A and B are shown apart, each in its own frame.
Chain A
Amino acid sequence: MEIKYNLQGYLVYITLAAYALAFLATIARQKNFGRVLYVAGFFVAVAAFGYRWQHVKHIPLQNMFEVFLCLGMILPPISLFCRLILHVGAEGADMLIGFIILFPAGFIFHSEPQNLPPALQSWLFAPHVAVYMLSYVLMAKAAAQAVGQLVKSSGPSNPELVGYEGATYRMICFGFPFLTLGLISGSYWGKYAWGDFWGWDPKELWSLVSWLVYLGYYHFRYMFGKKHAWMNSAIALLGLLAIIITLLWVNLSKLFPGLHSYAS
């Protein structure tokens, strides 16, 4: 547990408080007030990210603190886009996800700035990590919808929103191109930095596992999706589990030594 007594830390804590209060307001049926807090939290998160960028003098996507800060920041606009364009709801769940994501950035991960190692000084660094961040948030939203399908089959109360199973599919369809782009840009970058498209590094293997789970989701849904709709949702949850392992366990555990250790 590490409390950050600096401006960077205070900005993260304000965002955390805003997301938590937004979630509480939403479940207390004060949706509009919840949204105001959520949007306010987003702007503070943008300020935290901008401050970090200015402080470390490169796009802050290098270590776990920066990655989780970015994940927490991009969640509100994604929620808004999904609700307005894709008709996928569960804003309350998004607020809770935002709080859960930002919590380790505020209290667990160290925030000392680090210099970029030579391998990360590439034009591919920002897009590669950014597309993965987008896909992870979208797949987390898909998993939240999948949980809805598994525990409450009646669907969302708002008739404008898509049912849980359909919403899971929409979220995965939205996130899968980003996941693919992340995998391919990583492989392309690996070829230019280290000489190999694929180094069989644990991080690479687990990102392949995540991609394969969603590939399996599409094939399974095509084959048996209507008959065993709950299974589609179970695979979506498995996908998120693979993502969590890729993002957290592979970087933090000493079980997986590899080329991506700078992200620890």
Chain B
Amino acid sequence: MGNSKSKMYILRRASLWVTLGMIILLLVLSVTVSFKGADKASKLFNSEPLVVFWVFLTGLLALGIFFFPRLLRKPGLLSIHLGGIVILIGAMISSQKGHMLQKELLGRDKLYKGYLYLSEWPKEMEDSHLWNETLNEQVGRLPFTLRLEDYWMDYYWPEGHLLIQKYPVQPMPDLDDPNRTVLKLLSKEPEQTWLIPDRIGEEIELPAPLKKLKILQVIRKLQIRDRVTDRPRDTMNPALFVELEWADGFRDRRFVFPLNMPHRFQTNGFMFIYMFVKPQRWDVKDYYSDISVIDLKNRRQHRQTIEVNHPLHYGGYHFYQNRGDETEVPATAGEQRRMKPVGFTVLKVVSDSGVPVVFLGYWLLCVGVFWQCWLQHIIRYFGKRNQNGN
């Protein structure tokens, strides 16, 4: 009995030493490889010797639970160790080698990772081919196709102001039409100036004959064809859409443009200018890909706009916004003179195998750490206080 106890003691000590050794080895490898960049680090930690290391570490954590019955009595420590095991198993399932193993053992033919190139042109073009990161080698095909409906980028827009200036004017008869009068500027210097930020809903009181002005819309890229649109794709054409109220109750809605635009809005000696300074550098706020997924079996469609931090999850894969841009193509077939911009996008496609397992491991680890480090002490503290009658 005593012999088996001492054997157990030796095994425990040995397993703790090995655990410390594994932690130190992982530390040394992480420090060393951090100087070589993410690609080399990824290759090293996914290499065959390191696969052995990960499997051994998982086994060691499992053995720890067996060797140390204390772990079973301490829910926090048990949860931490189980969390570690589950995370490592989940990571193995979601790895490239895990996918290869699943194919061999279970016949599950699922792609591990790839990049999907989609273009708005030609219209209605669908694709399911996955490529490597540089898009020069095909790595597989998805069991469904995707189509890019629209692609655009949103930029950080600089803050602008609406400038209103009142000039001294005098009504003069119109020489061409004596029944009408025109307002003639008496000075080049405005006698009064107002400035309001370009925010929807901003209002300002104005002197007679005007009464009030309200900003209804802040338009970044105004386009007036068959209807007014604010297309993010098209070249910059900022404008404010405002509602102007006269002292007699008459209301009018007008566009106000920057100073360099040919259309200037002025009335009754008031001049309205959209003060907008084009920034030297445009910072991208987000990239958007409006995607349709077409199921080949039943032609059912799923449509979603993918952006950074908002991937699409469909058919066992996650689709991430990776990169994209615009290019120019002939506006009509065969004609090379008139060009139109079309967007293209590259989506990173990653298999979702193992993801719920990793998340479960995260929960176990977090709950265990909080229980072990905080909650058990808080519960013990309040338990003691209750016992003391406080």
A binds B: yes
What residues of chain A have their CB less than 8 Å away from a CB belonging to chain B? 115, 117-119, 121-122, 173-174, 176-177, 180-181, 184, 187-189, 191-202, 205-206, 208-209, 212-213, 215-216, 219-220, 222-223, 250, 255-259
Q: Which of B1-51 contact A (CB under 8 A)?
A: 13, 16, 19-20, 23-24, 26-27, 30-31, 33-35, 37-39, 41-42, 45
Distance of A204 Cα from B348 Cα, bound (Å)? 21
Distance of A200 Cα from B40 Cα, bound (Å)? 9
A177 touches B369 (CB 8 A): yes
Distance of A189 Cα from B27 Cα, bound (Å)? 23
B30 touches A208 (CB 8 A): yes
B13's nearest neighbour on chain A, judged by CB, is: A223
A212 touches B26 (CB 8 A): yes
Distance of A193 Cα from B362 Cα, bound (Å)? 18
- Residues of chain B lying within 8 A (CB to CB) of residue A181: 366
- Residues of chain B lying within 8 A (CB to CB) of residue A215: 23
Q: How far is the CB of B22 from chain A (nearest CB, A)?
A: 10
> Lowest 10 CB-CB distances: which A-B pairs, in order?
A200-B41, A118-B308, A205-B34, A115-B283, A200-B42, A202-B34, A195-B350, A195-B320, A122-B309, A115-B156
Distance of A183 Cα from B194 Cα, bound (Å)? 51
B41 touches A180 (CB 8 A): no
Stretch at the interface among B103-111, B136-144, B284-292, B382-390: B284-292
Partner of A258, one of B37, B358, B365, B370: B37
Distance of A208 Cα from B32 Cα, bound (Å)? 13
Partner of B311, one of A173, A195, A201: A195
Distance of A74 Cα from B383 Cα, bound (Å)? 30
- Residues of chain B lying within 8 A (CB to CB) of residue A180: 365-366, 369
A118 touches B91 (CB 8 A): no
Distance of A234 Cα from B254 Cα, bound (Å)? 71
Distance of A206 Cα from B26 Cα, bound (Å)? 11
Distance of A90 Cα from B271 Cα, bound (Å)? 65
- Residues of chain A lying within 8 A (CB to CB) of residue B113: 195
- Residues of chain A lying within 8 A (CB to CB) of residue B31: 205-206, 209
A259's nearest neighbour on chain B, judged by CB, is: B38
B20 touches A205 (CB 8 A): no
Q: Given A197-B91, A219-B23, do A177 and B373 touch, yes or no (CB 8 Å)?
A: yes
A192 touches B309 (CB 8 A): yes
Q: Which of B159-194 contact A (CB under 8 A)?
A: none
Partner of A216, one of B20, B41, B307, B350: B20
List 11 interface pairs A-B (beta carbons < 8 Å), by A numbering. Answer: A115-B285, A177-B366, A181-B366, A195-B113, A195-B348, A200-B38, A205-B34, A209-B31, A216-B24, A223-B13, A223-B16
- Residues of chain B lying within 8 A (CB to CB) of residue A192: 309-311
- Kindly state whether residue B318 has any CB partner on chain A within 8 Å: yes
Main DSSP-derived SS at the A contact region: helix
- Kindly state whether residue B66 has any CB partner on chain A within 8 Å: no
- Residues of chain B lying within 8 A (CB to CB) of residue A193: 308-309, 320
A199's nearest neighbour on chain B, judged by CB, is: B38
Distance of A219 Cα from B37 Cα, bound (Å)? 30
A219 touches B16 (CB 8 A): yes
Distance of A177 Cα from B26 Cα, bound (Å)? 21
Distance of A200 Cα from B113 Cα, bound (Å)? 17
A188's nearest neighbour on chain B, judged by CB, is: B362
Partner of A205, one of B19, B23, B33: B33
B113's nearest neighbour on chain A, judged by CB, is: A195
Q: Which of B285-311 contact A (CB under 8 A)?
A: 285-287, 307-311
- Kindly state whether residue B379 has any CB partner on chain A within 8 Å: no
B70's nearest neighbour on chain A, judged by CB, is: A222
B156 touches A121 (CB 8 A): no
Distance of A188 Cα from B366 Cα, bound (Å)? 13
A256 touches B34 (CB 8 A): yes
- Residues of chain B lying within 8 A (CB to CB) of residue A196: 350
- Residues of chain B lying within 8 A (CB to CB) of residue A259: 38
Q: Given A115-B156, A205-B33, A257-B37, do A212 and B366 touch, yes or no (CB 8 Å)?
A: no
- Kindly state whether residue B355 has any CB partner on chain A within 8 Å: yes
A205 touches B41 (CB 8 A): yes
Distance of A177 Cα from B374 Cα, bound (Å)? 8
A114's nearest neighbour on chain B, judged by CB, is: B283
B358 touches A197 (CB 8 A): yes
Distance of A197 Cα from B318 Cα, bound (Å)? 13
Distance of A202 Cα from B40 Cα, bound (Å)? 11
Q: Given A118-B307, A122-B309, A195-B311, do A212 and B42 touch, yes or no (CB 8 Å)?
A: no
A223 touches B311 (CB 8 A): no
- Residues of chain B lying within 8 A (CB to CB) of residue A194: 320, 348
Distance of A249 Cα from B45 Cα, bound (Å)? 23
16 more A-B residue pairs beyond the given contacts A174-B373, A216-B24, with a C-beta to C-beta distance below 8 A:
A115-B285, A117-B283, A177-B374, A180-B366, A188-B362, A192-B310, A193-B309, A196-B350, A200-B33, A200-B45, A206-B34, A219-B23, A220-B20, A222-B16, A255-B35, A256-B34
